[in-house]
Structure 1
Amino acid sequence: MRILVLVVNRMVWFVPTLLGLLAIVFFISHVIPADPAAFAAGENASAATIAEMRQRLGLDQPLHIQFLRYVQSIFTGDMGRSIYTGRPVSEDLLSRLPATLELTLVTVVVATLVGVPLGVVAALKRNSWIDHALRLVTIAGLAIASFWFAILLQLFFSMQLGITPLTGRVEGWGPEPITGFYVIDSLINWDMETLLDAFHHMVLPVATLALPAAATIVRFTRAGVLNALESSYVLYETAMGYPRWQIVWKYVLRNALIGTVTQIGLIFGILLAGAVVVEAVFDWPGLGLFAVNSILNSDYNAVMGFTLVAGTMFIVVNLVVDILQGLIDPRETR
């Protein structure tokens, strides 16, 4: 019952949150000194042609009227057409969504598998050289700019050593499209060569995104484990003579990972935003690269569509995190 109340409370704020996000992005994008009508009309278009195109796109209307019309079209399922591709924005986003989700999900899995154990080790070895070394690595991981780290990885592993691909998702056309996720499609088609190639192309983008994500998970896991180790029930179990590994595995981790689970959900949303820069560097054909091209071409409909999809995914992921947090610790749903 408490979980149901939690879901209802979150859903009540779903539409207002998205409307506020869309309003902010809409007005910011429209005050930028760029004319999408001139881009759509062509490089050598006359002033009359540009004015006609501006009227056709509805850009001659006041901003609040344009925004209200856009919101109205969203509720009818129409995101408009992309000036950059000439296709419906919904089709462009749907075709690129699997690439971004695949990259993000693999990054979250890698960051979690690396960050949680290292966070536990750092807490159990508190103030040792291992703990100090992990602190240094996590601080560096959070401080390094993703685009700079991505370029360094390309220069060293791709251009100097030649052991990883420089850009792209796979060599060639990829597996037969079924879900749009190359890993899943390769497994369905039992195409092991393409599967290995897909993982090979993901090495550098995943490493770029996983570094700050894993650093965050390490820090929150360490803090959670330290807090749990100082609790009364752990002191009691220790006094009873239970093995340390059993105390950590059965009692400490469940309570220590509550904050980590929340952070993993937030990291997922952050990765969606961070993927914009990383996808542009690695020419990864996902939502991020599409958003960059749309921004450069002042493609308002595409930018708004990306904002809507990214905002929806972020809200849904955080709802799932809240539910999981409530299942792990029922006190969180009170």
Structure 2
Amino acid sequence: MRNSALQSMMSRIYASQLTQRLVQSVFVLFGVSALIFFIARVIPGDPARLALGPNASPEQVASLREQLNLDEPALTQYFLFLRDLFHGDLGISLYSGRPVVRDILEQLPATVELVLFSAVIMIVAGVVIGAVATRYQNRAADYIIRVLSLAGIVVPSFVWAIVLMLILAFWLDLLPIAGRLSQGMEPPRHITGLYTVDALLTGNIPVFFDAIYHIALPAFALSIASISQESRLMRASLVETMSAPFIETARAYGRTESWIIRKWAMRPALVPALTVVGLDIASKIGNAFLIEAVFAWPGIARYGVEVILFKDLNAIIGTVLVISLAFILINIIVDFLVGLVYPKIRLQGATDV
């Protein structure tokens, strides 16, 4: 009973820690918004002139600058931006001519779906490859895995994308090279914006498989570097765990190495791997623009690069805020998963409060 009460108390403390993280995240977002807002203002070039083109008259440029509050002091512009932000308004995009919120809501699901599929491939492949390398430590399979993992890290993702496209799309003709669906196929009814999820929710199985067919190649290309990093980290963590005293005890009972890895070593070894995976997944949302460009994937990462080149201030700030929010939420989720996978970490964190 005492242990149960203690664990209940520590769980409440852990929940309190997560609440504190959420509150801190609000201040982080304010800091990010201020930083990117003022940095965007000092980038050379006049957004109004870029939006209207070189043939626009000075009067037209001045009118647009007044409409965008660009004639106001920077601090006043920021407070006006915060006022609109509290009302869910990120302004009008000079790049598309539409509300920034609408652009983000249209572009974000495609990147989220791509990153989620990439994350699944990364986690499954990274853990399995890392476990195999540990099982055959310092043997041929281990050496081959380590060399291939190093190659996966040092070669840029867009190079892998082109190589995979040439092999799997052009040479073997197994997978498509562009788009989210085949030509002539209608997207599923919009619910989440994720075609695979929406297709399942609406019972549209042909669209589901076609969406899987199109996302497989870009998701795999996006995950290669992460698989390499995850497998190397998983191997290092497993090798360290396999030398722990409790593993020696398991060996003394005659357990096989494969059984020990699955039942005893995998859980503690996942803790550092999960932490890196969380950061990697969050970074993919912003860093997927090369993959999206190669595969003509209509995501927010490619949109973010385009609005930066166009110096679309409202769209730049909105995109950065969304990516920052993704970083924060994914890190909080990872903290929760680490505590779920290895409760000792959660209880230790609770006792430190």
TM-score (norm 1): 0.93
Structure 1 CA distance for aligned equivalents of residues 194 and 340 of structure 2: 30
Conserved? CA contact 1:283–1:289, under 8 Å: no
**2:89 matched to which residue of 1?**
78
Moved more, 45-54 or 272-281: 272-281
**2:274 matched to which residue of 1?**
261
**1:293 offset after TM fit, Å?**
2.1
Structure 1 CA distance for aligned equivalents of residues 62 and 174 of structure 2: 52
From the superposition, tell whether residues 11 and 188 of structure 1 become closer, same or farther in structure 2 (CA, over 3 Å): closer
**2:200 matched to which residue of 1?**
187
Q: How does 1:1-334 map to 2 (within 5 A)?
A: 1-171=12-182, 172=184, 173-333=186-346, 334=349
Conserved? CA contact 1:280–1:292, under 8 Å: no
Structure 2 CA distance for aligned equivalents of residues 294 and 158 of structure 1: 30
Q: Identity over the aligned pairs, expressed in percent? A: 36
From the superposition, tell whether residues 255 and 69 of structure 1 become closer, same or farther in structure 2 (CA, over 3 Å): same
- Supply the AA of the counterpart residue of 1:151: I
Moved more, 284-293 or 103-112: 284-293
- Supply the AA of the counterpart residue of 2:216: V
**1:33 offset after TM fit, Å?**
1.8
**1:150 offset after TM fit, Å?**
2.1
- Supply the AA of the counterpart residue of 2:133: A
Conserved? CA contact 2:135–2:257, under 8 Å: no
**1:141 offset after TM fit, Å?**
1.1
Conserved? CA contact 1:3–1:323, under 8 Å: no
Structure 1 CA distance for aligned equivalents of residues 58 and 163 of structure 2: 45
Runs of 4+ in structure 1 deviating by more than 6 angstroms, as ranges, are none
Conserved? CA contact 2:51–2:94, under 8 Å: yes
Q: How many residues align?
A: 334
Structure 1 CA distance for aligned equivalents of residues 171 and 36 of structure 2: 40
Conserved? CA contact 1:280–1:288, under 8 Å: no
Structure 1 CA distance for aligned equivalents of residues 166 and 311 of structure 2: 31
For structure 1, the 5+ residue unaligned runs are none
Conserved? CA contact 2:160–2:221, under 8 Å: yes
For structure 2, the 5+ residue unaligned runs are 1-11
From the superposition, tell whether residues 175 and 327 of structure 1 become closer, same or farther in structure 2 (CA, over 3 Å): closer
Structure 1 CA distance for aligned equivalents of residues 125 and 204 of structure 2: 28
**1:159 offset after TM fit, Å?**
4.1
**1:287 offset after TM fit, Å?**
1.0
Structure 2 CA distance for aligned equivalents of residues 327 and 161 of structure 1: 43
1:13 counterpart SS class: helix
Moved more, 147-156 or 5-14: 147-156
2:288 counterpart SS class: helix
